[in-house]
Structure 1
Amino acid sequence: MEKLFSIMNKSMRVLTHIIVWIALLLLFMFMGSNGKIVQKTVVVFVYFGLINITIFYINYLFILPTFLNRKKYLWCAIVILFLLLIASFVKCGLAYYYYDIIIKRDSGKHIMAFWDYFMSAVFVSCLFIFLSAVLKFVTDWFSNEKIKSNLENEKLISELAFLKSQINPHFLFNSLNNIYSLAYQKSEKTPEAILKLSEIMRYMLYESNEDKVALADEIRYLENYIELQKLRFKDNSYIKFEISGEVETQKITPLVLISFVENAFKHGVATDKDVPISILLNIEPGKIFFRTINKKSNQNKDETGGIGLQNVRRRLDLLYKDNYELHIQDKNDIYNCELYLNL
């Protein structure tokens, strides 16, 4: 199918060139003859037009791709000069063959000298070589821009896939540590934690593969994660998760908000009644405000460098560009993340 589309595109380009040249020749014939097709009109605008079109495509299709693209500038200039001389001599030969039509002017009152006609033929040939060079540079520029755009898109897709793939092992590593802690304590909540983790992983593996997911699904994913974290602390956890606004009609890039919540639990204190982990999601049409506030823990340092927030910041740059603002306040005892996101 791709090969068929390529053939169709080439055929359309060829057809477009043919139509443009025919239209130009007919236009000049009509203008030069005041609407009357006579022998002089045919000779000047068809025979000489075909020579100029031939010059155009010899330069466009053969000379420039063969020499200029390979940076053989001297050879390119030599071959173009040779083409100019050959074409101009052919035009002169054709002009003297139609001596009475081309060389004689004003009913024989004015006869062009050979070199005058030769230089005018060189000038016109140069014009068509220039036009073919302009077309070549313009088409090459658009082609290069398209290739560049495709490469950038492929790079973007690859980078996003890599960043997303980092989320799973990073999240899994932290969650398994939590479940290990429950199992080590022989907690009765260990099976429940494993079930929550299973639901979370199912969402990450199967439901978050789209570019955008329902915000309601993302919120359920966050709620499951928070419930999983609460199991670590039994009844001693203090977490506030507040949601306001219309949820059902909004969509969001999956797995963007989780890093902020995960960071709050990993580096925060969830057992302080006076300073609970606070998670706020305010939803408005086409935009959200998301905030996490946590008291900083002195015992839980990220020795691996904290790839979570670096990851999400890079994903926001790639996916939302200028449509988000991320503010992080790292105070002595409090860590505050605020995300303004245009959906």
Structure 2
Amino acid sequence: MILSPERKEPMAIFQNPEGQKYLLGKLFVLTFFYLNFLYLIPNYYFKKQYITYFSSIIFCFLIVVLLPDSLIHKRPEVDHKPPAPAEFREPRSGKPEPDFDFKNDPGPMQGPRPSHFSFQLSQNLFLFLSALFLSLAIRINNRLRQTEQLRLNAELSYLKAQINPHFLFNTLNSIYSLAIIKSDLTPTAVVKLSGMMRYVISEADHQFVSLEKEINYIKDFIDLQRLRFDDSVTITFNVTGDITGWQIAPLILIAFIENAFKHGINAEESSLIKIDISIENDQLQFLVFNNKVTVDRAEESGGLGIENTKNRLHLLYPAKHNLVITDTPNSFSVSLTLNLV
């Protein structure tokens, strides 16, 4: 009611024609906001039909400005009160007062008063432009956010599509090694692989999964590697802290573990792999260490795993992770801190 033509009595705005025009104009501006936001912008502006869009804007503006005046007509008013009885009109000085209308006198220092229509026009123009630019700003911002989200989803889908073949190749390689030596542990390895594949197929499409399931998947992977290498490699795996109730991106840690087994195992050399996972408060601390050994160059090809995981970390945990990779001539280690909330 700040800009209302009736400021003294708020309810008078509903009885005064000018107040009714005021309210109707504001109602038209509000209607235009939603019309522009929900229909004009997505159907014309985003489709680059600018002539149709701005023609519609001009048409809406004319409606907002002109229609209230055409719908509501000003009632005739009595500008002068009936003259008071003579005994009450006797001047103090004894002289008759001049019949002068101070109400309509502009005064010596004032020009003609601006018309109410020009005031109403400027007011409606301001509100109309505010509604126009506000609806445009909100809609364009929403569109940019949706576009960015679609881009992230497409990139994540591409990265996840790389995970399954990479995982399957490395795991089948392990089982193949057991089958070559006709190990009695081959059936157990197949069962482990079956459980891991079930997890990958059912959970990898989700953006986040249970941390407990993810750690069980890692445990199965490590057990499979132990079946493959028996006691020729020292492998330690420790989990501390409460892992229940937390969520994590699926297969976000396994690439670093696969890399350790890929570059840190040689039956003819001393091989050591250490994997530690700890949960404290809302942070996950992940550490993988392996000493470097001589490996077959044919197995060094690829390298999708770690780069893939780096990209996923930047997409899923922006400003919520800290990754430190230490590569020395004799060892390789990964330290990752994840904020789980």
TM-score by length of 2: 0.72
Q: Is the 8 A contact 1:293 1:337 kept in 2?
A: yes
TM-score by length of 1: 0.72
Tell me if 1:42 matches 2:16: yes
Tell me if 1:146 matches 2:142: yes
Tell me if 1:339 matches 2:339: no
Q: Is the 8 A contact 1:325 1:339 kept in 2?
A: yes
Q: Is the 8 A contact 1:244 1:281 kept in 2?
A: yes
Deviation (angstroms), 1:336: 0.9
The match for 1:277 among 273, 280, 283 is: 273
Matches within 5 A, 1:140-289: 140-269=136-265, 271=267, 274-289=270-285
Shift of the 166–107 alpha-carbon distance from structure 1 to 2, 3 Å rule, reads farther
Deviation (angstroms), 1:184: 2.9
* Separation in 1, partners of 2:201, 2:10: 72
Deviation larger for 328-337 or 269-278: 269-278
The match for 1:306 among 278, 294, 303 is: 303
Query: Residues 198-223 of structure 1: CA distance to partner in whole angstroms, max 9, x if unpaired?
Result: 11111212245544433332222112
* Separation in 1, partners of 2:179, 2:312: 34
Partner of 1:15: none
Q: Is the 8 A contact 1:237 1:271 kept in 2?
A: yes
Shift of the 288–270 alpha-carbon distance from structure 1 to 2, 3 Å rule, reads farther
Tell me if 1:315 matches 2:312: yes
Q: Is the 8 A contact 1:275 1:295 kept in 2?
A: yes
| Structure ranking higher in helix proportion | 1
The match for 1:110 among 94, 98, 104 is: 104
The amino acid that maps onto 1:31 is R
Deviation (angstroms), 1:174: 1.3
* Separation in 1, partners of 2:157, 2:18: 62
Structure 1: 5+ residue stretches without partners: 1-23
Query: Residues 152-205 of structure 1: CA distance to partner in whole angstroms, max 9, x if unpaired?
Result: 333333332332232111100111122223323333332222221111111212
Q: Identity, % of aligned pairs?
A: 32
Local SS of the residue matching 2:4: helix
Shift of the 272–313 alpha-carbon distance from structure 1 to 2, 3 Å rule, reads farther
Query: Residues 257-281 of structure 1: CA distance to partner in whole angstroms, max 9, x if unpaired?
Result: 1111111111222547754111122
Shift of the 233–44 alpha-carbon distance from structure 1 to 2, 3 Å rule, reads closer
* Separation in 1, partners of 2:133, 2:325: 48
The match for 2:133 among 137, 140, 164 is: 137
When Rg is computed on C-alpha atoms for both structures, the one with the higher figure is 2
Deviation (angstroms), 1:229: 1.5
* Separation in 2, partners of 1:107, 1:43: 25
Q: Is the 8 A contact 1:55 1:83 kept in 2?
A: no
* Separation in 1, partners of 2:119, 2:268: 87
Deviation (angstroms), 1:119: 5.6
* Separation in 2, partners of 1:222, 1:36: 71
Shift of the 313–117 alpha-carbon distance from structure 1 to 2, 3 Å rule, reads same
The amino acid that maps onto 1:309 is I
The number of aligned residues is 308
Tell me if 1:290 matches 2:266: no
Structure 2: 5+ residue stretches without partners: 80-99
Q: Is the 8 A contact 1:55 1:129 kept in 2?
A: no
Query: Residues 107-146 of structure 1: CA distance to partner in whole angstroms, max 9, x if unpaired?
Result: 685279xx96776523421320221111121122112222
Matches within 5 A, 1:88-107: 98=76
Shift of the 78–107 alpha-carbon distance from structure 1 to 2, 3 Å rule, reads farther
Query: Residues 200-251 of structure 1: CA distance to partner in whole angstroms, max 9, x if unpaired?
Result: 1112122455444333322221121112122332432221112233333544
* Separation in 2, partners of 1:276, 1:303: 18
Partner of 2:96: none
